[in-house]
Amino acid sequence: MFEAFRLHLLRILAAASLLGAASSAAIAAEVSPWDEDVQSAARLIAARPRAESGGRVFRAGVEIKLKEGWKTYWRYPGDSGVPPALDFSKSQNVKAVTVLYPVPMRFPDGAGGHSIGYKGAVILPLHVMAQDASKPVTLNLKLDYAVCEKLCVPAEAKLELALTGAGTANETAVSAAEARVPKPAVIGDAGLPTIRAIRRDAGSGKPRVVVDVAAPAGAPVTLFVEGPTAQWALPLPEPVSGAPAGLQRFAFDLDGLPPGEKASGATLRLTAVSGDKAVEVAFRLD
DSSP string over 45-93:
EEEEEEEETTEEEEEEEEEEEE-TT-EEEEEEEETS----EEE-TT-BS
Asked if 71 and 39 count as a contact pair (C-beta separation under 8 A), the reply is: no
| 209 in the same domain as 143 | no
| 99 in the same domain as 161 | yes
* pLDDT band of 89, cuts 50, 70, 90: very high
| 127 in the same domain as 108 | yes
Beta-carbon contacts of 16 under 8 Å, excluding residues fewer than 6 positions away, are: none
Report residue 65: phi and psi, to 5°: -115, 145
Distances (CA, A) of 59 to 35, 127, 159, 206: 20, 5, 16, 44
| 173 in the same domain as 274 | no
Average pLDDT over residues 179-192: 94
Residue-level pLDDT at 204: 64
| 177 in the same domain as 209 | no
Query: Which of 181, 199, 214 lies at the terminal end of a domain, its last residue?
Result: 181
Quick check: bond before 216 cis, omega within 30? no
- CA-based R_g, the chain, Å: 24
Q: Is residue 95 in some structural domain?
A: yes
Give, in degrees to the nearest 5, the angle at Cα 212 between 208 and 217.
150
Residue-level pLDDT at 28: 45
Q: Is residue 277 in some structural domain?
A: yes
Q: Is residue 116 in some structural domain?
A: yes
135/281: higher pLDDT = 281
Residue 20's identity, in one-letter code, is G
| 209 in the same domain as 234 | yes
Report residue 83: phi and psi, to 5°: -70, 155
Q: Is residue 21 in some structural domain?
A: no
Residue 64's identity, in one-letter code, is I
Q: Is residue 13 in some structural domain?
A: no
Average pLDDT, the chain: 89
| 130 in the same domain as 78 | yes
For the segment 5-56, what is each residue's pLDDT rounded down to a tens digit?
344 434 443 433 433 333 333 344 799 999 999 999 999 999 999 988 778 8
| 225 in the same domain as 85 | no
Q: Is residue 275 in some structural domain?
A: yes
Percent helix, strand, coil in the chain (nearest 5)?
Answer: 15, 50, 40
Give the C-alpha separation, 80 to 245, whole Å: 34
Average pLDDT over residues 182-193: 93
> CATH number of the domain that 258 lies in?
2.60.40
For the segment 192-213, what is each residue's pLDDT rounded down to a tens digit?
899 999 999 876 678 999 999 9
Give the C-alpha separation, 237 to 211, whole Å: 9
Q: What is the pTM of this model?
A: 0.87
Query: Which of 181, 202, 222 lies at the terminal end of a domain, its last residue?
Result: 181
Q: Domain range holding 154?
A: 31-181
**H/E element holding 159?**
strand 152-163
> CATH number of the domain that 129 lies in?
2.60.40.1250
190/197: higher pLDDT = 197
Per-residue buried b or exposed e for 163-195, using 16+ beta carbons within 10 Å of the residue's own CB: bbbeebebeebbeebbebebeebeeebeebbbb
Average pLDDT over residues 120-130: 97
| 220 in the same domain as 153 | no
Q: Is residue 23 in some structural domain?
A: no
| 88 in the same domain as 213 | no
What is the count of structural domains for the chain? 2
Query: Which of 151, 181, 211 lies at the terminal end of a domain, its last residue?
Result: 181
| 88 in the same domain as 163 | yes
Residue 140 has pLDDT above 50, yes or no: yes
Beta-carbon contacts of 145 under 8 Å, excluding residues fewer than 6 positions away, are: 40, 42, 64, 72, 73, 82, 84, 85, 154, 155, 156, 157
Q: Is residue 8 in some structural domain?
A: no
Residue 162 has pLDDT above 60, yes or no: yes
| 146 in the same domain as 35 | yes
